[in-house]
């Protein structure tokens, strides 16, 4: 079992950290201090720390580095030989898309449990995190970076390509 430390109302700060954000994943043997328990929530998830972290990382948008070449004024996945790139940016791709977008703003804690119902949270405690039966709702726990201001600019020359 893994313990997930979560932002509660006492530690939520709009624009920085939100109610339900996952701060960290800890083993079931980890003992939180009374101060931590006063300001953070804890959710038990059926799975090891590695299982939970692996499952969450699979759901996050894919983020890669792209380079702006001076020679053609376009972004590419690799640097232009010995020439310094004009710009180096992070780009992201959401599942099922062939488009890449500039990552201008990001969340401090990208994973958030606020969208889960109490029943779904309870299922995470009882059903293994890797069981396909949790797939239908586990995708709701990742914040969508596409909704953040500035993150909707497509890098068209990277469309249909991969690094």
In a domain, residue 71? The reply is yes
3-state secondary structure of 142: strand
Cα 104 to Cα 59, 88, 146, 151, 155, distances in angstroms = 20, 12, 10, 6, 12
Other Cβ atoms less than 10 A from the Cβ of 24: the count is: 13
DSSP state of 99: -
In a domain, residue 16? The reply is yes
65 closest CA partner among 162, 143, 159: 162
Q: How many domains does the chain have?
A: 1
In a domain, residue 132? The reply is yes
- Rounded average pLDDT over 39-51: 95
- pLDDT digits 0-9 by tens, 54-84: 988 887 888 999 999 999 999 999 999 888 9
In a domain, residue 7? The reply is yes
pTM confidence score: 0.78
Does residue 43 contact residue 125 with C-beta atoms inside 8 Å? yes
Write down the pLDDT at residue 154. Answer: 95
Other Cβ atoms less than 10 A from the Cβ of 156: the count is: 10
The pLDDT mean for the chain works out to 91
Residues belonging to the chain? 163
Residue 147, pLDDT > 90, answer no
- pLDDT digits 0-9 by tens, 100-122: 999 998 888 888 988 899 999 99
Look up the domain containing 13 and give its range. Answer: 2-158
Q: Whole-angstrom Cα distance, residue 121 to residue 111?
A: 14
In a domain, residue 116? The reply is yes
In a domain, residue 139? The reply is yes
Tell me phi and psi for residue 35, to 5 degrees.
-65, -45
In a domain, residue 163? The reply is no
């Amino acid at each position: 079992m893994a313990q997930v430390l979560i932002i509660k109302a006492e530690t939520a700060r709009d624009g920085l950290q939100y109610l339900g954000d996952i701060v960290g994943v800890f083993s079931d043997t980890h003992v939180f201090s009374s101060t931590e328990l006063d300001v953070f929530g804890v959710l038990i998830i059926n799975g090891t720390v590695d299982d939970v972290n692996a499952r969450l990382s699979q759901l996050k948008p894919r983020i890669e580095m792209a380079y702006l070449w001076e020679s053609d004024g376009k972004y590419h996945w690799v640097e232009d030989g010995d020439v310094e790139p004009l710009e180096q940016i992070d780009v992201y791709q959401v599942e099922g898309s062939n488009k890449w977008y500039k990552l201008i703003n990001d969340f401090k804690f990208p994973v958030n449990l606020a969208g889960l119902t109490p029943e779904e949270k309870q299922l995470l405690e009882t059903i293994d995190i890797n069981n396909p039966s949790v797939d239908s709702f586990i995708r709701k726990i990742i914040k969508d970076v596409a909704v953040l201001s500035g993150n909707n600019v497509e890098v068209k020359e990277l469309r249909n390509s991969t690094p």
